[in-house]
Amino acid sequence: MDALRERGIDAHVAHAGVYRFGVRVSIGDGREAEWDTDDTAGLEAQVLQDGDLVGFVPVIEGSADFDDAATVEAIASTEYDRPIVEPRPGAAPDGPPLLPEEGLLNRFQKGFRE
């Protein structure tokens, strides 16, 4: 999450159920992308507006083998303006950095390492 926030992307932990987590990216105008909340190996997302599905990112080919940097780049480079969304080619421009998420839950999830 912090790697996305450092790039200016408003990312948060998505709590999709018991022991099911993902990444929630606030897009603006009431839309949010929920990345990988379904416990599958590939990287994909649902785009929601006020709780209604308005688009999706199909499974990104090869994403089951992505490392953290590749996952961050895929999320950062995605344009959300179409119903079926795909990451744009090339590096995404960075925005101003956002503060890392803090709190006890975040520290538990990171194992108090930071």
SS (H, E, C) the chain: CHHHHHCCCCEEEEEEECCEEEEEEEEECCEEEEECCCCCCCCCEEEEECCEEEEEECCCCCHHHCCHHHHHHHHHCECCCCCECCECCCCCCCCCCCCCCCCHHHHHHCCCCC
Domain that includes residue 9, residue range: 2-109
pTM: 0.71
Per-residue pLDDT of 28-78, as tens digits, reads: 888 999 998 777 788 999 999 988 999 988 998 899 999 989 999 999 988
Overall number of domains in the chain: 1
**Residue 99 falls inside a structural domain:** yes
pLDDT recorded at residue 25:
92
**Residue 62 falls inside a structural domain:** yes
**Residue 21 falls inside a structural domain:** yes
**Residue 54 falls inside a structural domain:** yes
**Residue 114 falls inside a structural domain:** no
Average pLDDT, the chain: 80
